[in-house]
Structure 1
Amino acid sequence: MVVSLNKKSYIANQSFAFDFDGVVADTMSLFTAIGREEFGLTDFYPEKITDYDLTRCLDVELDTLMQIVTRVVSTKYNHRLEPMPGAGEILQKLAQISGPLLFVTARPDAESVEDWLKDTLDMGKDSCEVIATGSFDAKAGVLQSRGKKVFVEDRLETCFYLKEAGIEPVLFVQPWNRRPHSFHEVRGWSDLADFFGV
């Protein structure tokens, strides 16, 4: 359980932030849809992704996986990247209470995420900021520099790294993070709404 902070204080002090892929955006559904429809991978569904290292859980050539990942990150696809259920409504409420929200992503550029947040969730630059680190390991430094104490993340390995850096991870449950840990878990945005008290 997260016990280091009073929930009201970190909302009031804006000391929390969010990952993007797998937390706000349902990126794995997009990833697998591209795999099925454009690469002919018929048995390719989000439930099959039980490890963040795709080569450990999918019987697909590495080159094909990298092509699909590149398509997703470059936003060159014919599918729609959907939000996780409830994400838009809860994020809007949090932004109204605490002010602009911070999103920290390991993607290499922030612009595509900013555009998606604006177009899909109606969150402009006045209600959010996106920092793209290009690396999972770089997230901790960004969060520390911004005074963030709590981070909602779906990659379990990143959670361990954040904890070591003094940042309290909140693990957004996904099929690829079902291994032992001691972090607070949320099973979707309704759980996050309860967690934040909104």
Structure 2
Amino acid sequence: MKLTPDRTGFDLDGVIADTAETFLRLACEKYGYCSFTREDITSFDLENCIAMEQSLVERIFTDILEDSLSTGLTPMEGAVETLTELAMVTPEITIITARSLQQPVLDWIDVFFPARTRDAIKVIAMGDHNDKTRYIHDRKLQYFIDDRAETCMQLATAGITPLVFEQPWNRNRHNLRSVSGWHELREFLIP
């Protein structure tokens, strides 16, 4: 399977940004919840799979969303390199995130990506996991990479080809095509 680079979009958290690592690190360092690992996150709704109050889960995610840099959010392994290669073959890389704030994403991208890649990246912060289809259609994208299985199933129903970026929280929740990481995704994207 080959993806058309200029018709492919990406989710941010859990695909480009390693939000789970940041969440787990902050939960341990700031709040003393140190017994969880990424493998324990078996649901997109963390309060359903780890013993932590929902208000604390929300506080940690709010910190990450409002200031990704000061919370130490890092890119997923291979994301920067692959998107940098992609920027050489397509004029625009579209990121559609369920985050409602765009500026913290732009600030984060400015730090981790080379100038040419930053210039190619267009970020849409749309604020709703369940409304990505509209934005993907508006951008005339044919493919979308996301870690939320429910989003990918919605996209498939809407005629968009999703690729599920494998994470513990989407295992056994879909029958869609998956990618295990950026090393595999690169093979689909780079001609």
TM-score normalized with structure 2 length:
0.93
Q: Which amino acid aligns with 2:38?
A: P
Please state how far the C-alpha of 1:68 moved relative to its aligned partner: 1.0
Q: Does 1:164 align with 2:162?
A: no
Structure 1's unaligned 5+ residue stretches are: none
Contact 2:68 2:105 in 1 (8 A): no
Aligned partner of 1:30 in structure 2 is 22
Task: Report the RMSD for the aligned CA atoms in angstroms.
Answer: 1.6
Structure 1 residue runs of 4+, over 4 Å off? Answer: none
Aligned partner of 1:133 in structure 2 is 126
Please state how far the C-alpha of 1:96 moved relative to its aligned partner: 0.7
Q: Which amino acid aligns with 1:40?
A: G
Q: Which amino acid aligns with 1:192?
A: L
Q: Which amino acid aligns with 2:162?
A: P
Q: Which amino acid aligns with 2:105?
A: V
Q: Does 1:100 align with 2:92?
A: yes
Instruction: Provide the secondary structure at the position in 2 that maps to 1:68.
Output: helix
Contact 1:19 1:152 in 2 (8 A): yes
Q: Which amino acid aligns with 1:139?
A: K
Contact 1:33 1:45 in 2 (8 A): no
Aligned partner of 1:151 in structure 2 is 144
CA distance in 1: counterparts of 2:135 and 2:55, whole angstroms: 31
Aligned partner of 2:182 in structure 1 is 189
Please state how far the C-alpha of 1:126 moved relative to its aligned partner: 2.1
Q: Which amino acid aligns with 1:28?
A: A
Aligned CA distance change for structure 1 residues 49 and 180 (closer, same or farther; 3 Å): closer
Deviates more, 1:139-148 or 1:115-124: 115-124
CA distance in 1: counterparts of 2:124 and 2:97, whole angstroms: 6
